[in-house]
Amino acid sequence: MNNIKTILKDHYDIDIINALSQQGGWSALAYKVFNNQHTYFLKAYEKSRASTPKWTALIDKYVPIMIWLLHHSDLKGKIPLPLLTKNGDYKCEDDDRIYLLYEYIDGETIGDKDLTKEQACQLSEIITELHLYGEEIPIETDAIKEDFTVPFLQQLRNFLDEEITHFSSDVREVINPHIEQLNNLIDTTEKLSKSLKYSNLRMSLCHTDIHHWNLMQCEQQLMLIDWEGLKLAPVEADIMFLIDKPYYDEFMRIYQKFHKNFTINTDALQFYQGRRKLEDIWELIEQLLFDDQDVQERVKTINYLTGSLKDIRK
C-alpha cells in the first residue's frame, strides 16, 4: 500500500486514501486506487516475472496510439483512458515494478459470460472502427508493426529436444504425449511466418487479444480493455478471436459495411491461430522453468498447460 501511495504521489501528484488489490489478469497485478474525488485503475507489472518485458517494452509505443484513437476515432468511451505522469510519461517504475495508470472503469467484466446480441454488435462496431486505421495515422506505428516472427520458436524447439529431460516428471508426463503434434505446429507456423513476411498484406491497427476477460460492460456501452497487444497487423490477428463465435455472421455483416469486399486470408489466419497456441504453451513452460512459483501456482500452471496442449488439435 505504501509504495503505491508513494508512486501515485511522486509521479502523478495524486494523494490517495486507499489501494485495493483487484483480481488481475494474466500479465500484471492490478489495484483500484482512490481518494474522495476520483478512482483510478493501476496496473503493476512485476519485474521479477519472465513475461514482464514482453508486456511492458512497448508501453511508450502503444499508449500514444490509444490516446490518438481516443481523440480522433469513434472509440472514445469504448476503450480505457490512460493517464500520464506529471512529466508526461506513459509509465513509471520503482525497483520492483512498472506502473501504468488508467481511469477506473465502473463496470462489470464479461469474463465467463456470453455476450448478449447488443454486446456482440458493440464489439463488432469497435473492431470495425479500429480496423479503419493503419500506418497513415500521424503517430509512429513502426515499433508495433507485425513482422511475423515467432521469437521463442528456437527456444521452444531446444526445450523439446533437450531441456525437457531435466524437467520434473510431473511436467514431462503432461508434455510428452503431445510432442509430435507440437513439433508439427512449430513447423507449419514457421513456414507461414516466412511466407507472410513477403506477402505485402494490408495492415490495420489490431487489438490482438480479444476475449471476454478483456471486455467490460459500463452502463450502456461495452468497452474493450487491455491494449498491451496493440499491433499494426493483418486484420486476421483480431478476426481469429471471432471466427468461432456464434455471432460471427453478425460481426461480418457489420464489418463488411465499412470494409467492403473483405475476405479472409487463410494463411494469415492459420499463422495467428498457430502462433497464439504456441505462445500460450511457451509462456506456461517459461513460468514453470523460471518463475518462483509456490506449489499451488505450479499446479495451476500445469493444469493450464494440459488444457493448452489438448487445444493444439482444434
Ligand X SMILES: Nc1ncnc2c1ncn2[C@@H]1O[C@H](COP(=O)(O)OP(=O)(O)O)[C@@H](O)[C@H]1O
Considering beta carbons, is residue 125 or 209 the nearer one to Mg ion?
A: 209
Return the amino acid letter for 302: I
Spell out the residues 6+ positions from residue 152 whose beta carbon is closer than 8 angstroms to its own.
278, 279, 282
- Please tell me whether residue 201 binds ligand X under the rule CB under 6 A: no
- Please tell me whether residue 25 binds Mg ion under the rule CB under 5 A: yes
Contact region for ligand X (CB under 6 A) — 154-162, 167-175, 224-232, 240-248?
A: 224-232
- Please tell me whether residue 214 binds Mg ion under the rule CB under 5 A: yes
Min dist CB 64 to Mg ion, Å, is 20
Q: Are 101 and 246 in contact (CB under 8 A)?
A: no
Contact region for ligand X (CB under 6 A) — 12-20, 88-96, 149-157, 225-233?
A: 225-233
Q: Of the candidates 67, 70, 84, 105, which one interacts with ligand X according to CB under 6 A?
A: 105
Considering beta carbons, is residue 32 or 157 the nearer one to ligand X?
A: 32
- Please tell me whether residue 133 binds ligand X under the rule CB under 6 A: no
**Cα separation, 36 vs 15, whole angstroms:** 10
**Cα separation, 306 vs 74, whole angstroms:** 41
Q: Of the candidates 98, 186, 225, 239, which one interacts with ligand X according to CB under 6 A?
A: 225
Contact region for Mg ion (CB under 5 A) — 18-26, 54-62, 150-158, 197-205?
A: 18-26
Min dist CB 173 to ligand X, Å, is 29
Considering beta carbons, is residue 146 or 209 the nearer one to ligand X?
A: 209
Backbone phi, psi, residue 249, to 5°? -65, -40
Residues of this chain that interact with ligand X (CB under 6 A) are 22, 24-28, 30, 41, 80, 102, 104-105, 109, 213-214, 216, 225-226, 228
